[in-house]
Amino acid sequence: MVLEVLEPGLLSTIQDGGRDAAHLGVPGGGMCDRTVREIVAWLLDTDDPVAVEMTLLGATFAVRESCVVGVVGADLGGEVVEEGRPVPPGTTALLHAGTTLRFGAARDGARAYVSLAGGIDVPEVLGSRSTCLAGGFGGFHGRPLRAGDILRPATAQRLDLAGRKWPGLASGGLPEPGVTPIRVALGPHVSDVGADALDGLLGTDWTVDPRSDRMGLRLDGPPMPGGARRELLSLPMVAGAVQLPPGGAPIVLLADHQTVGGYPVPLVVSSVDIPRLAQLRPGDRLRFDGVTIDEAFRLGMAELWASKDVEDLFERSLAKGTA
Amino acid sequence: MADRVRVEPYGDAAVLVTLGDTIDLDVNRRVHAIAQYLDAMDEGLKDFTWGSSVPAYASLLIPFDRWEVSAHEAAQYFQELIDELDIGREAEALSRTVEIAVRYGGEDGSDLLDVSERTGLTPSQVSEAHASVDYACFFLGFAPGFGYLGVLPAELELPRRGEPRTRVPAGSVAIAGRQTAVYPSATPGGWHLIGRTEAVLWDVQREPPALLAPGDRVRFVADRR
């Protein structure tokens, strides 16, 4: 045994890149803030990052065997209690047997991630180790972590990975103070919700409702017309879809969203801003800024060129003979 | 030629393919034919990378690599690809029959009396009508293993409940609109509960995990034990 959960925090689940089984009704899942994947991969020298995703209030672990952990995402004030040693996001740390790793309340974003050098030993189910809360499978026995659960690395310990520091931000999704701008393109039902609803969506500073979860961010704002002007047939949903239920309070879909839905989708968040949604806390505010689909594409390209995946893109282009 | 298939951007990382706006078996079979074609396409023949398609009643979603192509270019590509496909216009025979035993009413179907009142049928007429027809499984969605079954007899058609339940018990047999379904696991739900089954709709240890598959014929049988 390596790490034993003493207190699980608000919601701590094991997540990786998610699974591809939406045609069976299975949510994609995976880390809500996908920008942390490459950071976990770099910090812990792995091609296949997996981590415990902690939400708003972090977990406390007893260190049963010395190990190296990597911490990324929001700052939950991680520290080694007995040593008074902080373990800030974007770093790895050697933990000594007999100590306690404790995370507290979120200081900036909503979600923090902790992983072991050597990964976390849980089985792959339907192609992923992510916890599927809706189906009760994957991750750690298909459920959030509880006190007494024990996490072990999947491969040999890598104590040589201690003391690493990611050169950039510990997440690409951390919100700035004030109203977070979220860029949206028009969705498939923009003409079904009416101009008043669209004006309301784009002209309002929305507040994140406490009932938000991994399925979606529920937004509070002034009353506005909701629903569609015709009966919609259930259709497939995407992460980032802004649903407008009849009550008029929008829901923005996140990683564990239902695969299909019947509410109109007048707007879709550009992929580069979905991690920001994952890092907003209840009470935080956001506004929707309209962009075109082509601008959303260019935002993605800009993000790509700024990241370490440039080499990968170049190789793919070479393989296709387009570079 | 029926209405042209419409392909449009669905955000910057997926396209939505729409074939119609009704619950129609012929349309749905074409949705699945397109999905199967795109899922099985050889990587070498693709202009860019895309993932498994997600079919629904009359539409399907295709996620693609947004770092390779814009949604407009992807939509145009899929539009041309699908327009050239020779998809049969007739529904193929349903592949197999799945029987599901249901205990109607009582604690198992806590909305049966309400449904009876609102439809003007007696509770036993409601359950008999529900079990009187063969349903087709149109697609899986909403929750793991949840099959959208249709078409429900017109005399049972009701809008969803005004206030969804926060927790519907696993195995609940429910109706809404011209649809019926079995909830595979305990989830929130807004459909009317008329009965319950012991059948296991989803078991991740089983291969395949879902009891139902698109194209199945499904028959509900009253369990009077």
Which residue among A25, A238, A240 sits closest to B144, beta carbon to beta carbon? A25
Does residue B87 carry a pLDDT above 80? Answer: no
- A256-267 as b/e, with b when 16 or more CB fall inside 10 Å? bbbbbbbbbbbb
A270–B11 CB contact, under 8 Å: yes
A127 to chain B, any CB pair closer than 8 A? The answer is: no
The phi and psi torsions of B25 (rounded to 5 degrees) equal -65, -40
Q: pLDDT confidence of A322, banded at 50, 70, 90?
A: very low
Q: So what's the pLDDT on residue A156?
A: 86
How many A-B residue pairs are in contact by the CB < 8 A criterion? Answer: 140
Pairing of strands B217-222, B97-104: parallel
Q: Which of residues 181-200 of A touch B (CB under 8 A)?
A: 185, 187-188
As a whole number, the mean pLDDT across chain A is 93
Please state the φ and ψ torsions of residue B112, each to the nearest 5 degrees.
Answer: -60, -45
pLDDT digits (tens, 9 = 90+) for A132-186: 999 999 999 999 999 999 999 999 888 999 999 998 889 989 988 899 999 999 9
The Cα of B79 is separated from the nearest Cα of chain A by a number of Å equal to 16
The structure tokens listed for A266 are 């007048």
> Is pLDDT at B92 greater than 80 in this prediction?
no
Identify which of B22, B58, B210 has the shortest CB distance to residue A24. Answer: B210
pLDDT at B149: 98
Residue B38's φ and ψ, nearest 5 degrees, are: -70, -35
Instruction: Using CB atoms, pick whichever of B13, B141, B209 lies closest to residue A260.
Output: B141
Of A62-71, A169-178, B194-203, give the lowest mean pLDDT range: A169-178
How far from the centroid of its chain's Cα atoms is residue B51's Cα? 20
Asked if B13 and A236 come within 8 Å (Cβ–Cβ), the reply is no
| DSSP string covering B15-78 | EEEE--SS--HHHHHHHHHHHHHHHH--GGG-SS-B---EE-SSEEEEEB-TTTS-HHHHHHHH
Q: What is the pLDDT of residue A177?
A: 87
pLDDT tens-place string over residues B167-189:
999 999 999 999 999 999 998 88
pLDDT at A228: 87
Q: Does the pLDDT at position B156 exceed 50?
A: yes
User: Does position A97 have pLDDT exceeding 70, yes or no?
Assistant: yes
- Locate tokens 């997926």: which residue? B14
Residue A95's φ and ψ, nearest 5 degrees, are -110, 135
Neighbours of B152 (CB within 10 A): 21
Q: In this structure, what is the dihedral angle of CA atoms B186, B190, B192, B196, given to the nearest 10 degrees?
A: -10
Determine, for residues B67 and A300 on separate chains, whether the beta-carbon distance falls below 8 Å. Answer: yes
Whether B60 has a pLDDT exceeding 80, the answer reads yes
pLDDT of residue A135: 93
Q: B143 and A258: CB-CB below 8 Å?
A: yes
Task: Give the pair of three-digit tokens for residue B141.
Answer: 């969605």
Q: Report CB contact under 8 Å: B12, A316.
A: no
Distances (CA, A) of A177 to A108, A110, A306, B45: 9, 14, 23, 47
Minimal-distance CA residue of chain A relative to B185: A135
Higher-confidence position of B92 and A24: A24
Q: What is the pLDDT of residue B93?
A: 61
pLDDT of residue B1: 42
CA distance B62 to B44: 18
- Give residue B156's identity as a one-letter amino acid code: L
Alpha-carbon span B15 to B180, nearest angstrom: 28
Cis peptide before B151 (omega within 30 of 0): yes
Q: Which of B180, B219, B203, B185 is nearest to B96 (CA)?
A: B219
Average pLDDT over chain B, rounded to an integer: 93
To the nearest whole Å, the CA of B125 is away from the closest chain A CA by 28
Contacts of residue B132, defined as CB under 8 A and 6 or more positions apart, other chains included, come to B153
Peptide bond between residue B208 and the one before it cis (omega within 30 degrees of 0): yes
Between A215 and A305, the more confident residue is: A215
Cβ contacts of residue B50 below 8 Å, gap of 6+? Answer: B38, B62, B63, B64, B65, B74
Residue of B nearest to A298 (CA): B70
**Considering CB atoms only, which of A23, A237, A309 is closest to B140?**
A23
Partner residue opposite B12 with nearest CB, options A25, A185, A309? A185
Q: Which residues contact B123 (CB under 8 A, 6 or more apart)?
A: B104, B105, B112, B113, B116
Condensed to tens digits (0 to 9), the pLDDT of residues A282-318 reads 999 999 999 999 999 889 888 877 775 555 655 665 5
| pLDDT above 90 for B3 | no
pTM of the model: 0.93
Helix, strand or coil, per DSSP, at residue A134: coil
Query: Which residues 272-301 of A have a C-beta within 8 angstroms of B?
Result: 293-294, 296-297, 299-301
Which residue blocks in chain A are alpha helix, DSSP H?
36-43, 190-193, 195-203, 274-278, 293-306, 310-320
Say if the Cβ atoms of A132 and B144 lie within 8 Å. Answer: yes
Q: How far apart (Å, rounded) are the C-alpha atoms in residues A128 and A138?
A: 7
Residue A162 is predicted with a pLDDT of 96
